[in-house]
Chain A
Amino acid sequence: MSATETTAKPQVPLIYNPKVRGIAYQVLLCGLIAFLAWGAISNAIDNLSRAKVASGFDFWDTTAGFDISQTLIAYTNTSSYGRAFWVGLLNTLLVASLGIVFATILGFTIGIARLSKNWLVAHMAAGYVETIRNIPLLLQLLFWYNAVLKALPELRDSLVLWGGVFLNNRGLFLPHPVFKAGASAALIALVLGLVAAFAFRFWARQRQMRTGQPAPVLWVALFFVVLLPLAVFALSGFPVEFDYPQKGRFNIGGGMEILPEFVALLFGLVIYTAAFIAEVVRAGILAVAKGQTEAAYSLGLRSGPTLRLVVIPQAMRVILPPLTSQYLNLTKNSTLAVAVGYPDLVQIFAGTVLNQTGQAVEVIAVTMAVYLTISLITSGLMNLYNSRTALVER
């Protein structure tokens, strides 16, 4: 420290230096939190070992011994607890991702419908939102589960829909497609079609920027993605067979099975979350200044393109952050699967596995970490998208 500085700044005792104090407090706080965490963890370990409760993750590789009704990966009752964890996780991801897709579609439709100039449409949408979002989700799930179960016929009187599709209170049974050699050509055509469609969209954008001429992107994309693979599929002689469901003594065997528990949970989550998304969408659209619409109309755009090209892109900036919260809510709400017997992560892992192993601390910690990870990834992706659509201020 030089002499000039001491004259410029009056000598303050270290204890009164605001900077030193600030750092000291932060160090103290961090230390305290670390001490509390250490205390809680060591205390838990100490108590577990004193009570002779097994701890650690040795159970992960031991045989689970129970069955699961819906498995996306191979699983039998001789598989390990670790395998059961993955089965549960995949089931959670399945219902959450499908739920997010359908809730978004339904939510946007209803949100826009609520702003419709048609009195009936607008009021029906309003009625939907107000009814659904004011009833607890758990009750709705129980309603859907019991409504789905009770309304469907018994196995014996299964509804036989077209082409060997059975519907009864055990679920929906569909023919399972089994692709034979030669089907790969159609798959390659599909991939090429997708690439071509994207390339065309890119070209059309560029051209519209340059000349203002729009191109029929939708129709061209449909041609590449749908017609082209279908044509290739037909040319190679329809190389597919169907494994049809067969009525057995008790159940329907073969084919693909969609469980009523899954349907009930998906319905409940989609319909509930869509009501909230509808409000988010409505708020977003109303946040776009009226002048924007009027300007678009005055340029001669019709109401469809106005909504699609002018209003929605601006509304998205308002919609995205609360929409992310709704996606996270849907994922977390999927834990209510327990109430309707759908084998999600909580039901299998934090339910059965916890109970069979008795290792509550480890199992709950893993489950919480998984939901935290899923939520962080979801919000990370949405934030990424948000930062791309956000207004770039110059």
Chain B
Amino acid sequence: MKRVVIRIALAAVLGIAAVSAASAQTLNTIKQRGVLNCGSNGSLAGFGLPDAQGRWTGLDVDFCRALAAAIFNDPNKVKFIPLTAQQRFTALQSGDVDVLARNTTWTSSRDTSLGLNFVGVNYYDGQGFMVRKSLKINSALELNEASVCVQQGTTTELNLADYFRANKMKLKTVNFATSDEAVKAYDSGRCDAYTTDASGLAGERLRLANANDHIILPEIISKEPLGPVVRHGDDQWLDVVKWVHFAMINAEELGVNKGNVDDQLKSADPDVRRLLGTEGKHGEALGLTNDWAFRVIKHVGNYGEIFERNVGQGSPLKISRGLNALWNKGGLQFAPPIR
């Protein structure tokens, strides 16, 4: 009996150690598992939200689908794991998710002391405020002494405190664990203003009891570069996630989209040929197949397509491209070349 106990105990200790050793080979683990574990936002329209049929939609959700398409040639081999702002980093650090695509702001401390690596920016955002029209204010600078509802554990919470301090205004903050609770409290009149990233405000406003009673103030008080995140210490997986992101931007730049990608296989343009894998072995270098980017575009689309479908003109949010337009169209989205 005792011997059995000791054996189980040893197995438990060694087992914990074994899990940590495997963390350096994320791509192989995912291939063996047959499904990608994607940390998502479960309640943000446009970025990550399951619809009435339980089908996940959103910009970040489509990013995970693109990853699955590149690895498995099947965009549905993703398990979406909804995480709150509080849970997200621990879930990634502990290996519960392979990638965190959950409108997460890239900051230096998150990139360094949390043991994470930010892959790129799939949405350039900034923080704003939403208030009731009946308050008759036009600027965030008029919010002195206002109560503001905010989600805790976010950069939003810190920017809010900074902004009020910098402008010598008094702030009464009410913090909630989830954005749902914060919005509900704002809607019921507990707070004068609700603050989060501008894209989030657009989505949350539509979910309020009477969207037209609320306006979004013009001030953007922070830089919020949102992007997918992976763990430190696995460069191969970092490369895969990074280049799937770049491939979608390059595809938009080269005019390759979901509709024409089959025809583009016959293209003579060397950039397109390298992207779609008809020339070179760029996919194999990543540990994928050479048609990895073709799969991404075929199943999910290029960056412009997923933007318009989820947050742009094809969605209820109707957010214009703005900073998220391609670099050659006045925006910031720029990807290194595949060669």
Contact = CB atoms under 8 A, between A and B. Distances in A.
Nearest to B191: A170
Contacts of A253: 145
Interface in A67-89: 67-69, 77-78
Chain A contact residues: helix, strand, loop or mixed: helix
A107 interface: no
Contacts of A360: 89-90, 93
A240 interface: no
Contact of A347 (B113, B177, B185): B177
Contact of B177 (A35, A69, A248, A351): A351
Interface of A: 25, 28, 32, 35-36, 39-40, 43, 46-48, 50-54, 65-69, 77-78, 146, 149-150, 154-155, 169-170, 248-251, 253, 260-261, 338-339, 341, 343, 347, 351-352, 354-358, 360
Given A149-B189, A250-B143, A352-B157, A54 B175 contact: no
Nearest to B86: A355
Interface of B: 2, 5-6, 9, 12-13, 16-17, 20, 23, 85-86, 89-90, 93, 109-110, 112-115, 135, 143-147, 152-154, 157-158, 160-162, 164-165, 171-177, 181-182, 185, 188-190, 192, 231-233
A355 B85 contact: yes
A351 B110 CA distance: 16
B96 to A, nearest CB: 12
A205 B13 CA distance: 63
A360 B146 CA distance: 32
B5, B6, B157: residue with the most chain A Cβ atoms closer than 10 Å: B157
Contact of A341 (B154, B162, B164, B174): B174
Contact of A146 (B143, B162, B188): B188
Given A36-B9, A40-B13, A69-B173, 16 more contacts: A28-B2, A43-B17, A47-B20, A50-B20, A51-B115, A51-B232, A52-B115, A65-B161, A251-B145, A251-B147, A339-B177, A341-B176, A351-B86, A352-B175, A357-B113, A360-B89
Contacts of B175: 66, 68-69, 341, 343, 347, 351-352
A339 B176 CA distance: 7
Given A169-B188, A351-B152, A48 B146 contact: no
A355 B153 contact: yes
Contacts of A52: 112, 115, 232-233
Given A68-B173, A351-B86, A355-B86, A51 B181 contact: no
Contacts of A154: 189
A51 B174 contact: no
A78 to B, nearest CB: 8
A51 B113 CA distance: 10
A146 B189 CA distance: 11
A247 B195 CA distance: 24
A51 to B, nearest CB: 4
B113 A54 contact: yes
A256 B6 CA distance: 60
Given A52-B232, A343-B175, A355-B152, A249 B144 contact: yes
A84 to B, nearest CB: 12
19 contacts: A36-B9, A39-B13, A43-B17, A47-B20, A51-B115, A53-B93, A65-B161, A66-B157, A66-B173, A69-B175, A170-B190, A261-B174, A341-B177, A341-B181, A347-B175, A351-B153, A354-B153, A355-B85, A360-B93
List 4 A-B pairs, minimum CB-CB distance, nearest first. Answer: A355-B153, A53-B115, A54-B113, A358-B114
B190 A260 contact: yes
Contact of A32 (B6, B113, B176): B6
Contacts of B158: 65-66, 356
Contacts of A78: 165
A169 B190 contact: yes
A32 B2 CA distance: 11
Nearest to B185: A341
B231 A250 contact: no
Contact of B161 (A53, A66, A169): A66
Given A43-B20, A51-B232, A251-B147, A355 B89 contact: yes
Nearest to B16: A43
Contacts of A248: 145
A67 B160 contact: yes
A51, A146, A155: residue with the most chain B Cβ atoms closer than 10 Å: A51
B100 to A, nearest CB: 13
B131 to A, nearest CB: 10
A155 B192 CA distance: 10
A43 B110 CA distance: 23
Contacts of A249: 144-145
A51 B231 contact: yes
A360 B147 CA distance: 30
A219 B293 CA distance: 88
Nearest to A51: B115
